Structure 1
């Protein structure tokens, strides 16, 4: 079984998440210049970013594996929150809107990959039992 470890350090208004990654390195979160009423939402933003990054990376790999070439992939993640039956704040859903910009000759590959990607990626599929994930995939032909 694979394992991944990140570490966290907080001193006052400064927080550092060490990803132990050559790509991400340390993620610094510094609230010292941010008013208290504007500090919320960082964890939700990281979750939304993580789902979008994982999904788009998996989508790119699925297209490439099947020989499709694309110019770019763009997307947004919209995270919704609410409360559970005990009135605790919870994430209630995430919607991914993703567009693949590619030549129309690869449209048939996009159609196949779109069906596969509706099952999610490592991160999003892991969240399916917790709340709804909505995948809106679009093809923009060049």
Structure 2
């Protein structure tokens, strides 16, 4: 079983997540000078970002593995919150809207990969039991 560890440190208004990664390094969240009513949502943004990043990475790899060439992949993640039966705030769904920009010659590969990706990636498939994930994939032919 694979394992990943990140660490967290808070000093005053500065919070640091050390990912221990050469790519990400430290993620610094600093509320200094930010009004109280504008500080919320950071964890939700990180969750939505993680889901979108993982999904787009898996999508790109799935296309490449099948020989498709694409110019770029763009996308957005929309996270929805609500209240559970115990009146606690909860994430109730994430919608990913992702577009692959590629030559129409690879459209048949996109169609096959789209079906596979409806099952999600490591991060999003892990969330399926917690709340609905919606995957909207689009092909924009160049």
Q: TM-score range by the shorter chain?
A: over 0.9
**Displacement, 1:104?**
0.1
Shift of 1:125: 0.1
Cα offset, 1:71, TM superposition: 0.1
Work out the CA distance in 2 between the residues paired with 1:33 and 1:138.
40
TM-score (norm 1): 1.00
Question: 2:2 & 2:27 partners in 1: Cα distance?
Answer: 23
Provide the secondary structure at the position in 1 that maps to 2:54: helix
- The Cα shift of 1:83 comes to 0.5
Q: Does 1:112 align with 2:105?
A: no
Q: Which residue of 2 aligns with 1:3?
A: 3
Tell me what 1:103 maps to.
Answer: 103
Aligned length: 142
C-alpha separation between the residues in 2 aligned to 1:15 and 1:33? 14
Q: Distance in 2 between matches of 1:117 and 1:46?
A: 21
Flag structure 1 segments of 5+ consecutive residues without an equivalent: none
Q: Give me the whole-angstrom Cα distance separating, in 1, the residues matched to 2:29 and 2:94.
A: 23
Aligned to 1:39: 39
Matches within 5 A, 1:31-110: 31-110=31-110
Structure 2, unmatched stretches of 5+, are: none
What secondary structure does 1:55 align onto? helix
CA distance in 2, matches of 1:109, 1:124: 22
| Structure 2: distance between partners of 1:83 and 1:31 | 26
**In the alignment, what sits opposite 1:131?**
131
